[in-house]
Amino acid sequence: MTPSTKIKLNYQSSILWGIALTLVWISQSAWIGLMNPYYLSIIIYAGINIILAVSLNLVNGFTGQFSMGHAGFMSVGGYFSAYITTHYFAQSLDSLSQIQQALIFLGSLLAGGCAAALVGYCVGLPSLRLKGDYLAIVTLGFGEIIRVVVLNLDSVGGARGLPNIPGLCSFGWVYTWVLICTFVIWRIIRSSYGREFLAVREDEIAAEAMGVNTTQVKVKAFVIGAFFAGVAGGLFAHTLRYLNPQTFDFNRSVEIIIMVVLGGMGSITGSILAAIFLTTLRELLRPLQEWTQIDFRMVIYSLLLILMMLLRPQGLMGTREITSFFRNRRGDPR
Amino acid sequence: MIELIQHLINGFSMGSIYALIALGYTMVFGILQLINFAHGDVYMVGAFTGFYAIHFFKLAEHPSWLSLALTLVVAMIGSGCLGWCIERLAYRPLRKSPRINVLITAVGVSLFLEFAGQLFFGADPKFFPQVLSFEGDWSFNELKINPLQVLIFVVSIFLMLALDWMIYRTRLGRAMRATSFNLEYASLMGIPTDQVISLTFVLGSTLAGAAGVLVGLTYPKIDPLMGVLPGLKAFVAAVLGGIGNVRGAVLGALILGLSEEFLVGYGAPTFRDALAFGLLIMILLFKPTGLLGLKRAEKV
C-alpha cells in the first residue's frame, strides 16, 4: 500500500464513521422509539457486546495476550459509573435538563472507563513477567478478586446488588460508543504505532529485538481494552438498571472470549459479527431453555469453542476485515 | 489453643484435597506446558461417579471400609477414563497447534463438562450418602476431631506416596520424567510419548476422582459446578509449589489449605475465595518459579 492510498483510506473511513454516527442519532430520534421494546433491548445488548468483544480483541487478538477477566473490568466500570449516577444525582436527576443529564451520564461513563483502565493498568503490570497461560490465570484471578471485593462493598449493595440505577442509556448512546470503540481500535491497529501490538503478537522476542517495548505495549493494550470494557459496563448498568456481582462472573468473561474466538482473533469485523450472532442466539435459545428448564447456552458455547479450535482455529474471519474483501476485488495487494 | 488445633486439622484436610487435584495439574503442565482447565471438573465427575456407584451397588446400606474402597475405585476408574477421553479427543489433535488454541480448548472442555454435567446430573446439589459409619466426632477433652477429616488426610497421603513411588522408582515414572524433560528427545530415545502423556492424564484424573469422593464424604453436597473453585485453587497451589514439581504441588496445596483456613478462622471469611488468587499474583510477581521450582527443576 502506497502512502497516498493510506491517507485516502483515513479520510474515507472518517467520513464513513461520521455518516454512521449521524444515522445512529437519526434512527434514535426517528423510529427507535416505535420499536418493540424486546427487540430494541436485544439490539442494545448486541451493541454492548460488540464494544466488549472488540475491546477484548485488542488484547487477545491483536496483542496476542490471553485475558480472561474482561467481565471484571466491565464490572469495575459498571459499578463506578452507576455509583456516581445513583448516589450523587439520583434525586436531582428529574429536575435537570436533558443536556445536563446527558453530560452527567457521559461523565459517569468516562469515569467508569477510567476506573476500569486504572485496574487494567494494575493487571497489566504483572504481565511484565508473565506469558500465555500464566497471564490467562492471573487475569482470571483478577476478575474473581474484583467480584469478591464488590461482593463485600456495602456502598454498592454487596451481594444484594445495586438497584434503582437511572435508565439514562439508549440506543444512540450505545451505538455511539460502538462507533467510538471500533474507530479508535481500528485506527490504533492500522497505524504504525499499532504495528507494535501486532509485532508483539507475532513474535515477542523478535519485536523486542526490533526495539519494541513489549511490556509497555501489553500494558497499553490492557489499559485501552479495560477502558472500553468499563464504558460497556456503564452502558450495561444504565440499561439494565440493576447490577449484581454475579452478573460479572467467569462465565461472562468466557462469553466475551467466545465472541472474539468465533469471530477470529485479530478481526474487528469478525468480533462484531460474532457479538451480534451470539446475542441473537441467546435470545433464540430462550424459549428452549424455558421449556426444558436447562441452560443449553453454555453447552453450545463450550462445544463451539472446542470445535472451533479443532476445525477452524482462526475463527470465522481469521485476521481479515470486511474491507480486505473489497480491496481484493479491486486487485490491490492486501 | 483448641481452636488453633481445630483450624490446623481443617486446613490439613482441605489442603490434602487441593494437593490431590494439584498433582494432576502439575503433572500435565510438566509434560505439555498446558493448564488443563478441565481438571477441576474431572474432580466433579469423580464425585458424581462415586455418588452413582454408591446408589448402584447400594453401598450406603452396608457402611464399611470395603464399601469406601469400592466407591473410591469406581470413582477413580470413571474419572480416569474421562481424563483419557479428554486427552484423546480434545488435546491430542492440537498437539502441534499454538498453545493459545490448546488453552482455549481446555476452557471449552471445562465449560462443557460443567454444563453437560448440569444436563445429566441436574443443576441442584445432591446429597452424598455416607459409606462409613462413625458415631459422632472423636473427642479428646475439648478437642473434637471429625474422623472423616483424618480419613481424607490419610487416604491422600497414601495416594501421594504411591504416586511419588511410581514417578521416582519405576520405569514408567522414568519415562514420564524423561517426557517432561524434553518430549522430542524422549520420543527419539524410544519412549512412546503419546502413551506416556495419556497415562499422565489418566493418573492425574484418578487422583482428582479420589479427591471428589473424599470431599463428598466430608462435605456431603455435590453439584456440577463444585469443581470450578477447587480446581482453580489447586492450580494456584501447583504454581505456589513450583509448577511441574510433584512434591512442590503437595507443599503448595497444604500451605494454601492452611492459609485459607486461618483466614476464615481469624480474619475475613468472605474474602476466602480471593485469597488464592492474591497469593497467585504475589508468587508470580516475586518468585515465578514457585517455592520448590528451580530453573530446570525435575518435572513430571
Chain A with chain B: Cβ pairs closer than 8 A? 118
CB distance A299–B108 less than 8 Å? no
pLDDT for residue B282: 84
| The three three-digit cell numbers of residue A4, written as one number | 497516498
Of residues B220 and B18, more confidently modeled: B18
H runs (alpha helix) in chain A: 3-30, 37-57, 70-89, 98-124, 132-151, 171-190, 192-202, 204-209, 214-240, 250-263, 268-292, 296-311, 322-329
Q: How far apart are CA A125 and CA A139, in angstroms?
A: 11
pLDDT for residue B38: 92
Supply the range of the domain harboring residue B257.
2-286
The answer to whether the CB of A54 falls within 8 A of the CB of A227 is no
**What is the percentage of chain A residues whose pLDDT exceeds 90?**
32
Say yes or no: B109 contacts chain A, CB-CB below 8 A: yes
Contacts A251 to B, Cβ<8 Å: 111
Q: Which residues of A sit within 8 Å Cβ distance of B? A: 64, 66, 68, 126, 129-130, 132-134, 136-138, 140-142, 144-145, 148-149, 151-152, 250-251, 254, 257, 261, 294-295, 298-299, 301-306, 308-310, 313
Task: Looking at the complex, report in whole angstroms how far the Cα of residue A227 sits from the nearest Cα belonging to chain B.
Answer: 22
Length of chain B: 300
Say yes or no: B291 contacts chain A, CB-CB below 8 A: no
- Nearest residue in chain A measured CA to CA from B233: A141
pLDDT for residue A8: 53
CA atoms within 13 A on the CB side of A102: 8
**Given pLDDT bands bounded at 50, 70 and 90, which one contains residue B131?**
confident
Closest CA to A68 of A238, A253, A302: A253
The answer to whether the CB of B221 falls within 8 A of the CB of B128 is yes
Is the pLDDT reported for residue A73 higher than 90? yes
Task: Looking at the complex, report in whole angstroms how far the Cα of residue A258 sits from the nearest Cα belonging to chain B.
Answer: 9
Q: How far apart are CA A118 and CA B65, in angstroms?
A: 56
- Nearest residue in chain B measured CA to CA from A305: B108
Is the pLDDT reported for residue A333 higher than 70? no
* Position B21 in a domain: yes
Q: How far apart are CA A322 and CA B153, in angstroms?
A: 59
Of residues B180 and A113, more confidently modeled: A113
**What is the domain count for chain B?**
1
| Torsion over CA: A30, A31, A34, A38 (sign) | negative
Q: Write the pLDDT tens digit of every residue in B242-270.
A: 888 888 999 999 999 999 999 988 877 77
- Nearest residue in chain A measured CA to CA from B92: A310
Is the pLDDT reported for residue B278 higher than 90? no
Q: What is the mean pLDDT of residues A320-328?
A: 70
Is the pLDDT reported for residue A322 higher than 80? no
Contacts A63 to B, Cβ<8 Å: none
Is the pLDDT reported for residue A332 higher than 50? no
CB distance B97–A134 less than 8 Å? no
pLDDT for residue B252: 93
Which range, of A26-30, B190-194, B201-205, B213-217, averages the lowest pLDDT?
A26-30
b/e per residue B72-91 (b: at least 16 CB within 10 A): bbbbbbbbbbbbeebbeebb
Q: Write the pLDDT tens digit of every residue in A42-66.
A: 999 999 999 999 999 999 989 888 8
**Given pLDDT bands bounded at 50, 70 and 90, which one contains residue A17?**
confident
Say yes or no: B270 contacts chain A, CB-CB below 8 A: yes
Would you give the end-to-end CA distance of chain B in angstroms?
A: 39
Is the pLDDT reported for residue A1 higher than 50? no
Task: Looking at the complex, report in whole angstroms how far the Cα of residue B298 sits from the nearest Cα belonging to chain A.
Answer: 20
Backbone φ and ψ for B20, nearest 5 degrees, come out as -60, -40
The answer to whether the CB of B109 falls within 8 A of the CB of A325 is no
Q: What CATH number is associated with residue B117?
A: 1.10.3470
Contacts B288 to A, Cβ<8 Å: 129-130, 134
CB distance A306–B90 less than 8 Å? yes
**Nearest by CB: A301 against B94, B97, B111:** B111
Q: What is the mean pLDDT of residues B88-106?
A: 88
Contacts A130 to B, Cβ<8 Å: 284, 288
- Nearest residue in chain A measured CA to CA from B96: A310
Task: Give the ipTM.
Answer: 0.82
* Position B75 in a domain: yes
Name the β-bridge partners of B221.
B127
Q: What is the mean pLDDT of residues B187-197?
A: 92
Q: How far apart are CA A74 and CA A230, in angstroms?
A: 5
Is the pLDDT reported for residue A326 higher than 90? no
| The three three-digit cell numbers of residue B188, written as one number | 527419539
Q: How far apart are CA B32 and CA A296, in angstroms?
A: 31
Q: What is the mean pLDDT of residues A17-30?
A: 82
Q: How far apart are CA B108 and CA B164, in angstroms?
A: 31
CA atoms within 13 A on the CB side of A162: 31
**Given pLDDT bands bounded at 50, 70 and 90, which one contains residue B199?**
very high
CB distance B274–A148 less than 8 Å? yes
Backbone φ and ψ for A274, nearest 5 degrees, come out as -65, -40
The answer to whether the CB of A81 falls within 8 A of the CB of A238 is yes
Interface test with B, best of A145, A285, A303 (most B CBs within 10 A): A145
Q: Write the pLDDT tens digit of every residue in A74-91.
A: 999 999 999 999 888 877
Q: Which of residues 76-95 of B touch A (CB under 8 A)?
A: 90, 93-94
| The three three-digit cell numbers of residue A207, written as one number | 519485536
Q: Write the pLDDT tens digit of every residue in A187-238.
A: 888 888 888 999 988 888 898 899 888 888 888 998 999 999 999 999 999 9
Q: What is the mean pLDDT of residues B21-47?
A: 90
| The three three-digit cell numbers of residue B1, written as one number | 489453643
**Given pLDDT bands bounded at 50, 70 and 90, which one contains residue A328?**
low
**Nearest by CB: B280 against A68, A138, A310:** A138
Say yes or no: B118 contacts chain A, CB-CB below 8 A: yes
Average pLDDT of the residues of chain A: 85
Closest CA to A63 of A12, A145, A131, A117: A131
Is the pLDDT reported for residue A270 higher than 60? yes
Q: How many CB atoms lie within 10 A of CB A212?
A: 17
Backbone φ and ψ for B140, nearest 5 degrees, come out as -115, 110
Q: How far apart are CA A117 and CA A97, in angstroms?
A: 30
CA B229 to chain centre: 12
**Given pLDDT bands bounded at 50, 70 and 90, which one contains residue B151?**
confident
pLDDT for residue A2: 46
Say yes or no: B228 contacts chain A, CB-CB below 8 A: yes
Is the pLDDT reported for residue A128 higher than 70? no
Q: Write the pLDDT tens digit of every residue in A163-177.
A: 888 888 888 899 999
Burial class (CB in 10 A: 0-12, 13-18, 19+), B65: exposed
| Torsion over CA: A312, A315, A319, A322 (sign) | positive
pLDDT for residue A296: 78
- Nearest residue in chain A measured CA to CA from B268: A152
b/e per residue B161-187 (b: at least 16 CB within 10 A): eebeeebeeeeebebbbbbbeebeebe
Interface test with B, best of A119, A130, A137, A147 (most B CBs within 10 A): A137
Contacts B284 to A, Cβ<8 Å: 126, 129-130, 134, 138
| Torsion over CA: A256, A260, A266, A272 (sign) | negative
* Position B228 in a domain: yes
Supply the Cα-derived Rg of chain A in whole angstroms: 20
Closest CA to A235 of A69, A108, A54: A108
Would you give the end-to-end CA distance of chain A in angstroms?
A: 8
* Position B294 in a domain: no
Burial class (CB in 10 A: 0-12, 13-18, 19+), A139: buried
**Nearest by CB: A302 against B115, B277, B278:** B115
pLDDT for residue A4: 46
| The three three-digit cell numbers of residue B295, written as one number | 530453573
Question: What one-character-per-residue DSSP string does A233-281 give?
Answer: HHHHHHHHS-B-GGGGSHHHHHHHHHHHHHH-TT-HHHHHHHHHHHHHH
pLDDT for residue B1: 78
b/e per residue A176-208 (b: at least 16 CB within 10 A): bbbbebbbbbbebbbeeebebbbbbbeebeebe
pLDDT for residue A280: 92
CB distance B111–A129 less than 8 Å? no
| The three three-digit cell numbers of residue A16, written as one number | 464513513
| The three three-digit cell numbers of residue B183, written as one number | 518430549
| The three three-digit cell numbers of residue A99, written as one number | 443536556
- Nearest residue in chain A measured CA to CA from B95: A310
Residue A149 makes CB contacts below 8 A (sequence gap 6+) with B274
Domain limits, chain A: 13-250
Angle at B205 between CA B203 and CA B210, to 5 degrees: 100
pLDDT for residue B297: 44
